Amino acid sequence: MKKLKFAAVVLTLVILITSCDRPPGFIITGTTHDVADQTKLYLLNISNKEILDSTSILNNTYRFEGTIEQSPANVLIHSKDFKLAKLLWLENTNIMIDAATGSFEGGRVTGSKTEMLAQKLFSRTDTIQSESQRKEVTIDFIKNHPGSVVSASLLSGYASKWGKKITSELYDLMPEEIKKSTYGQHILNYLELSRNPQIGDNASQFAMPDVNGNYIRPSDYEGQILLVHFWASGDEVSRLENKNLVKIYHLFHGLGFEIISVALDHSPQLWKKSIAADGLKWPQVCDFQGQYSKAAIMYGIEDIPDNFLIDQKGIIIARDIRGRELYDKLSNMLFENK
């Protein structure tokens, strides 16, 4: 009997020690409405594009389980075709998403304090029509919650739109822990790198690797007319614009025209596949930071596709110039000099 008791005590201690060593994790339990069984769902970490877990819907329920190193994390639950998609702030805790009577996207989240805080803001901004009023409410939220990763996420997204003055003031309110977060680093990069060049300014210089790992700079093409073009492989409008640029490039490249395409991508494979599919023959560069690409921050890129036309002396002469307007501009500059 004593041996049995001793064994039970040892087993209990082993379980306690093991559980202490194991970091706390998350469990997401969700309900859906009228979704077919075996529909595959994925849990995507927005920050690093890592798939944290995958599962299948059964009887309109699903479950994810795992651990995130940096909690909270902004994640996306989605189906393969993205027809089902739900954004939320994930924490290492038990979370419930109830979409049994409504849309998948509008499922009610409980258990994540960070998500509850974010919803508190969005419940206000979603009812405001005026962009200036939404901005005011969002800025007030950041001022009142400077220690929240939600505030850091918002500021990193709006920094280029709000400008350096407002961004710097709000960033200074944040504690060191938030400043050291991924979003805090994005904000700091904006404050340090943003040039927001205008027509008539010298082109901002960056160095980024091409498909072979060789670093390309706008200054490499001084003496030619250069189009610095911003796009992404997953953006349909960008891909359509690529078709137009192929025609433009074919017409004017031999006369002293060059393009540098800066991709706001995360995946090297998708980037290279899109380059080949679209037949892009000019220099292609990417640092795989998505919207936080250093070149995009320097040039104040908010939407894609976007571009800057730079003359032979390195001066910006046009922005977001496309189609017939770009053709006429290049014709006037290049054909007249031949």
CATH assignment at residue 310: 3.40.30.10
How many structural domains comprise the chain?
3
| Domain contains 122 | no
Q: Is 137 in contact with 127 (CB distance < 8 Å)?
A: no
Residue of 77, 95, 29, 34 lying closest to 59 (CA atoms) = 34
Cα 264 from Cα 232, distance rounded (Å): 5
| Domain contains 117 | no
284 in the same domain as 212: yes
80 in the same domain as 152: no
* 146-157 as b/e: b if 16+ CB within 10 A: bebbbbbbbbbb
Q: What residues pair up with 27 in beta bridges, in sequence order?
A: 65, 94
| Domain contains 171 | yes
Structure tokens at 68: 């995130």
DSSP β-ladder status, 85-90 and 94-98: unpaired
| Domain contains 123 | no
What are the distances in angstroms from CA 73 to CA 176, 223, 329? 18, 46, 46
Residue of 272, 276, 273 lying closest to 286 (CA atoms) = 272
3-state secondary structure of 142: helix
Cα 155 from Cα 171, distance rounded (Å): 8
Q: Which domain holds residue 155?
A: 128-193
71 in the same domain as 9: yes
| Domain contains 16 | yes
Residues in Cβ contact with 274 at an 8 Å cutoff, skipping those fewer than 6 apart: 233, 239, 263
Helix axis angle, 182-193 to 164-173, nearest 10°:
140
The secondary structure of residue 175, as a DSSP letter, is -
pTM of the predicted protein model:
0.80
3-state secondary structure of 151: helix
64 in the same domain as 40: yes
From first to last of its 338 residues, what are the pLDDT tens digits of the chain? 444 444 444 444 444 444 444 458 999 999 999 999 999 999 999 988 899 999 999 999 999 999 999 899 999 999 999 999 999 999 999 999 999 998 999 999 999 999 999 999 999 999 999 999 999 999 999 999 999 999 999 999 999 899 999 999 999 999 999 999 999 999 999 999 998 899 999 999 999 999 999 999 999 999 999 999 999 999 999 999 999 999 999 999 999 999 999 999 999 999 999 999 999 999 999 999 999 999 999 999 989 999 999 999 999 999 999 999 999 999 999 976 55
216 in the same domain as 298: yes
| Domain contains 173 | yes
